[in-house]
């Protein structure tokens, strides 16, 4: 538990990266750090895969929130709705369909490996499960792939942003 204790102490001190309460990325990074510390400590609890899925959501939602600019009311509603989902599959499809990027099948499969934990590990019912080490590994793989995808997409999407030159002409 030393690692988790250290994480909490750093978090409580307001370590950089945990301060911005206005971005999905800040929350994703916070969840990522806590998940990783918990896994390193050997923890196997239902909350961990749900946390990993939630962190994956936040990485993907940050991409959408910052790079998808609605052009009309229909697109605005679409953006609002996608930012409310807990489905990693829907988020990945939205990114591909609306941001003109292609995501490899391997990456999508890895990320979608964490889809569904948000509900199945948090609430009682017919679809509830008790997680095991395999679930933790799947969640860890999904989270790593999502974080890597996030930074790859950031590079791609930042490059494709229009740049305003000195003559105020748009150029790509």
Cα 10 to Cα 70: distance, rounded to the nearest angstrom: 38
Instruction: Say if residues 101 and 157 touch (Cβ distance below 8 Å).
Output: yes
**Between 168 and 156, where is the model more confident?**
156
Query: What is the model's pTM?
Result: 0.81
CB neighbours of residue 24 within 10 Å: 21
Both tokens assigned to 116: 């569904």
Task: Mention every residue, 6+ apart, whose C-beta is less than 8 A from residue 133.
Answer: 44
Q: Is residue 18 pLDDT above 90, yes or no?
A: no
- Name the burial class of residue 92, with classes exposed (0-12), middle (13-18) and buried (19+) by CB atoms within 10 angstroms of its CB: buried
- Name the burial class of residue 18, with classes exposed (0-12), middle (13-18) and buried (19+) by CB atoms within 10 angstroms of its CB: middle
Nearest to 114 by CA among 153, 93, 140, 76: 140
pLDDT band at 5 (very low <50, low <70, confident <90, very high): low
The whole-angstrom distance between residue 112's C-alpha and the CA centroid of its chain comes to: 12
pLDDT band at 1 (very low <50, low <70, confident <90, very high): very low
* pLDDT for the residue 9: 52
CB neighbours of residue 37 within 10 Å: 19
The per-residue pLDDT for range 22-79, each reduced to its tens digit, is 899 999 999 999 999 999 999 999 999 999 999 999 999 999 999 999 999 999 999 9
Q: What mean pLDDT is predicted for residues 67-92?
A: 97
Q: What mean pLDDT is predicted for residues 142-148?
A: 98
In a 13 Å sphere around the CA of 80, the CA atoms on its Cβ side amount to 6
């Amino acid at each position: 538990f030393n690692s988790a204790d250290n994480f909490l102490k750093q978090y409580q001190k307001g370590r950089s990266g945990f301060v911005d309460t206005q971005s999905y990325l800040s929350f994703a990074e916070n969840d990522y750090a806590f998940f990783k510390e918990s896994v390193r400590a050997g923890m196997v609890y239902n909350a961990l895969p749900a946390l990993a899925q939630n962190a994956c959501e936040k990485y993907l939602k940050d991409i959408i929130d910052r790079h998808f600019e609605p052009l009309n009311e229909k697109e605005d509603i679409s953006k609002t709705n996608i930012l409310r989902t807990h489905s990693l599959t829907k988020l990945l499809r939205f990114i591909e369909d609306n941001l003109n990027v292609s995501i490899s099948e391997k990456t999508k499969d890895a990320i979608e490996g964490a889809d569904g934990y948000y509900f199945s590990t948090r609430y009682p019912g017919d679809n509830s499960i008790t997680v095991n080490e395999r679930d933790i590994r799947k969640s860890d793989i999904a989270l790593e792939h999502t974080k890597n995808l996030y930074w790859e997409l950031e590079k791609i999407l930042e490059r494709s942003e229009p740049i305003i030159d000195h003559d105020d002409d748009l150029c790509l």
